[in-house]
Amino acid sequence: MKNNLKFLVAILFTSIILQSCTDAESVYVATPPLDGNLLINPTATNVVLNKNSKDQIAVSFSWDVSDYGVSTPLQYTLEIDAENGDFSDPETEVTESTELSFTHAKLNAIALSKDLNVNVEGNIKVRLKTSLNYGALPSYSKVETITVTPYEDLFFPLPLSGELYLQGDAVPSNWGYPVPANQKLTKIPNKAIFTITRELIGNRNFAFISSNMGWGNPAYVGLVANQPATGGSFTENGSHTNPPWIGSPIKSPPITGIYEITIDFVTGKYTVTPQ
């Protein structure tokens, strides 16, 4: 009888342990919310950005805490992409809060990075990704479309002539004048970017000048000497710069060949890309 009683107690005890383990396991099973249910509640859907208000809030987003069925820290990533983008390469802002705000300057930089034209209305898409630690079990909010009018925010003013030419011993003009028409860069419409594709003689020097008849004031050269062959920072160069005549001619890549040369007055960078 005692043995039977002990056997029944052991079975009951084991059942209680198994039930407790099952209950414990169920507590820690996280389930991501359905995509598209969460709202990010933008404070504005049409934003005209203003450089004079660059430090002020342009738009804010807020949302409810996502329900994964467990009590655990959540990570929120606001993703911003172009209107025709698929969020494969978005601009992102990460937070553990349930709200995010963007200043005029921040949103302007994002809009320009997504190729919106200055002083023209354009659309960006915004969504929120919620996840557990290390990006586990992601869930996505409803996508919101925001109309944004960015302003021109230049690292350097555009040349007054509106023209740029390659000059130097890396190109046929070899520092002589007038500079041939085939060394003139093309300005990309509605962008502060000039570009040209042509041959560069290897391991020589070149600069960007704003007139085909003279150096111009300013011209544009490398910020420092010996920057990477693929590009770097440029600076104004002329008698009005501070200090005057700052910078160094840009060194062409070591191998003679056809390159696409681009100079961007928003970022203050130039690139040299083999074709």
Q: 183 with 262, same domain?
A: yes
Token readout for 128 is: 């929120």
Contact criterion met (CB below 8 Å) for 66 and 130: yes
Q: Which residues pair with 231 in a beta bridge?
A: 271
Domain for residue 203, yes or no? Answer: yes
Q: Is residue 55 part of a domain?
A: yes
> What range defines the domain where residue 111 resides?
46-149
Nearest to 250 by CA among 240, 263, 238: 263
- The two beta strands, 205-209 and 186-187, are unpaired
Residue with tokens 């659309």: 123
Other residues' Cβ atoms within 10 Å of the Cβ of residue 204: 18
Please name the residues in contact with 213: beta carbons below 8 A apart, sequence gap of 6 or more: 177, 178, 179
Q: Are residues 171 and 137 in the same domain?
A: no
Domain-terminating residue out of 149, 181, 202: 149
Q: Which of 149, 184, 218 is the last residue of a domain?
A: 149
The domain tally of the chain equals 2
pLDDT digits (tens, 9 = 90+) for 150-205: 998 889 989 989 999 999 999 999 999 999 999 999 999 878 899 999 999 999 99
Name the region of 170 (left: φ>0; alpha: ψ -120 to 50; beta: rest). alpha
- Inside any domain, residue 25: no
- Mean pLDDT along residues 89-117: 93
CATH of the domain at 173: 2.60.40.3620
Kindly tell me if the per-residue pLDDT of 11 is higher than 50. no
177 and 230 co-located in one domain: yes
Q: Do 169 and 141 sit in the same domain of this protein? A: no
Dump pLDDT digits (tens) for 201-233: 999 999 999 999 999 889 999 999 989 999 999
The reply to whether 35 falls in a domain is: no
**Are residues 260 and 179 part of one domain?**
yes
* 82 within some domain: yes
Q: What is the pLDDT of residue 14?
A: 44
144 part of a folded domain: yes
- Of 149, 180, 203, the residue at which a domain comes to its end is 149
Same domain for 226 and 252, yes or no, is: yes
Shared-domain flag, residues 134 and 169: no
Q: State whether 136 and 179 are in the same domain.
A: no
Indicate if 205 and 259 belong to the same structural domain: yes
Task: State the SS3 of the chain.
Answer: CHHHHHHHHHHHHHHHHHHHHHHHHHHCCCCCCCCCCCCCCCCCCEEECCHHHCCCEEEEEECCCCCCCCCCCCEEEEEEEECCCCCCCCEEEEECCCEEEEEHHHHHHHHHHCCCCCCCCEEEEEEEEEECHHHCCCEECCCEEEEEECCCCCCCCCCCCCCCEEECCCCCCCCCCCCCHHHECEECCCCCEEEEEEEECCCCEEEEECCCCCCCCCEEEECCCCCCCCEEEEEEECCCCCCCCCCECEECCCCCEEEEEEEECCCCEEEEEEC
Please check whether residue 4 lies inside any domain of the structure: no
* 32 within some domain: no
pLDDT of res. 18: 46
Q: Against a cut of 0.85, is the pTM above it?
A: no
Average pLDDT, the chain: 89
**Same-domain pairing of 261 and 170:** yes
Same domain, 110 and 197: no
Q: Identify the CATH number of the domain in which residue 68 sits.
A: 2.60.40.10
The amino acid at residue 16 is: I
- 123 and 176: one domain? no
